[in-house]
Structure 1
Amino acid sequence: MTGPLGWLFDAQVVIAGHAILWREIVGNLFGLASAVGGMRRRVWAWPVGIVGNVLLFTVFLGGVFHTPQARDLYGQAGRQVFFVIVSVYGWVRWRQLQRANERAGAPQDAPVVVPRWAGWSGWATIVVVGVVGTVGFAMLFRELGSWGPWADAWIFTGSMLATYGMARGWIEFWLIWIAVDAVGVPLLLKAGYYPSAVLYLVYAGVVVYGFVVWWRARGERPVRTAEADEQVVV
């Protein structure tokens, strides 16, 4: 890739003797902004997150795109694709709820969803998908030659569950992110993706705070129209 676009794609900064891609830094900053938007229950969190996903997809295929790390983390790259898919679902869902709230007289800047616990059925989904997904993707990533397949598989599966949980308004999605971060930080440090590892640590702080914010907001009175809409939107 040549020209200005090529320069932007390959631009690097050297930190403590390590070459770091600017798109890894920028992609993670978009991800952090999306997490803050999710904590505040704002619709813009979804499109902002999608921009970060697209950037990070190219970063984690280090061998394919000849990045300084030169390691292919198929789980990390693949989850960016699924992030986009689930984020489109979340974006549409939250936008529908926002419109329903506005029709009921709520301010435009009001939080979109009322946080709630997933309940027994939700937890059954989380556990089953978490276990089956981790085992299945670990086997797949190992065959593909992914670096750290088991950790990569849990990060992939847990991230999907957390993003879906956020779209549904489940408080538990913050707890899933904590479990993802606990595995993700050591993996990324060992693989040489230092900005992503550091941002994972920052995410951990945001996630803990976000859990407290959503837990406290669980008793909010829902807008009646949005509550009715909640029953038909899946």
Structure 2
Amino acid sequence: MNWLNDTAFAVLGQPVKWTDMVGNLLGLAALALGWRRSMWTWPVQLLSAVVLVAAYLSGHLAGLVGKQGIVVAAAVWGWYQWQRGRRSSGDIAVRFATGRERALLVGATALATVGLAELFLAVPELSWSPWADAYIFVGTLAAMYAQARGWVEFWFAWIAVDIVGVPLAFTSGYTFSGLTYVIYFVLVLLGLRAWWLRTRTPRAVGTAVLQGATA
């Protein structure tokens, strides 16, 4: 399977690996499915993460590898959460997080980022970009947790992750990943709008909200 890490073509003078291309295209599909609140978003995210792990391992990008590892675990958990929510209500309900939930998410993300960055600094072999890798690793976990809970804030979390992830992808030679994130950004804005409007749509009495799902 060595061909997976071979160059498919070049973009702006930079080689694009098959794994980089296929993994990111699957990621785009998963994001679009998430926008539509389709259950398929989770298995497609999982497959995208597995392919991208192979791509980033060859580049020794610990943070990006860790990010995809988190995506695999979170995709399995999120799939379960959405199935549970759909069984109880017949739909995937979305909402804004409460002030307390939002504060806890932001606080936990900040603390975990600092803690992981300190680990990377203490063990240089784990990461070439300790703070960026820690930010991406923890931010991805926060985003997928919010998605699994049906929180609109998950779209804002992805924007925050991409602000660092896009430059890192370009400087690390993963040009296709960086260009793909431009499309990601458009899909994120569309998804944010769709979920935001969904929270303003009245639901039938008895429709359960994912806030009742346990972590």
TM norm structure 2: 0.90
What's the counterpart of residue 47 of structure 1?
Answer: 43
Task: Tell me if structure 1 keeps the 8 A contact 2:70–2:140.
Answer: no
Whether 2:179 is the aligned partner of 1:184: answer: no
Counterpart Cα distance in 2 of 1:121 and 1:169: 16
Superposed, which structure 2 residues align to 1:104-123 within 5 Å? 112-123=91-102
Q: Which runs of 5+ in 2 are unaligned?
A: none
Counterpart Cα distance in 2 of 1:166 and 1:114: 11
What's the counterpart of residue 5 of structure 2?
Answer: 10
The one-letter code matched in structure 1 to 2:137 is F
Residue of 40, 55, 62 corresponding to 1:59 = 55
Q: Which structure has the bigger radius of gyration?
A: 1
Residue of 67, 88, 103 corresponding to 1:124 = 103
Counterpart Cα distance in 1 of 2:53 and 2:143: 18
Q: Deviations over 1:14-63 (max 9, x none)?
A: 3143322111100011111110111110100000010000011111122x
Superposed, which structure 2 residues align to 1:131-142 within 5 Å? 131-142=110-121
Counterpart Cα distance in 1 of 2:209 and 2:104: 23
The one-letter code matched in structure 2 to 1:40 is R
Counterpart Cα distance in 2 of 1:228 and 1:206: 24
Task: Tell me if structure 2 keeps the 8 A contact 1:97–1:226.
Answer: no
Q: Detail structure 1 runs of 4+ shifted over 4 Å in the superposition.
A: 223-226
Moved more, 93-102 or 149-158: 93-102
Q: Give the number of aligned pairs.
A: 212
Whether 2:152 is the aligned partner of 1:171: answer: yes
For residue 225 of structure 1, report the CA deviation from its aligned partner: 5.3
For residue 228 of structure 1, report the CA deviation from its aligned partner: 7.2
Task: Tell me if structure 2 keeps the 8 A contact 1:101–1:223.
Answer: no
Whether 2:86 is the aligned partner of 1:98: answer: yes
| Counterparts in 2 of 1:179 and 1:57: CA distance versus 1, 3 Å | same
| Counterparts in 2 of 1:35 and 1:120: CA distance versus 1, 3 Å | same
In structure 2, the residue corresponding to 1:91 is in which secondary structure? helix
**Percentage of identical aligned residues:** 37
TM norm structure 1: 0.83
Counterpart Cα distance in 1 of 2:54 and 2:210: 37
| Counterparts in 2 of 1:229 and 1:191: CA distance versus 1, 3 Å | closer
What's the counterpart of residue 88 of structure 1?
Answer: 76
In structure 1, the residue corresponding to 2:143 is in which secondary structure? helix
Whether 2:154 is the aligned partner of 1:154: answer: no
Task: Tell me if structure 1 keeps the 8 A contact 2:78–2:148.
Answer: yes
Residue of 64, 79, 86 corresponding to 2:67 = 79
The one-letter code matched in structure 2 to 1:188 is A
For residue 120 of structure 1, report the CA deviation from its aligned partner: 1.6
Counterpart Cα distance in 1 of 2:119 and 2:67: 14
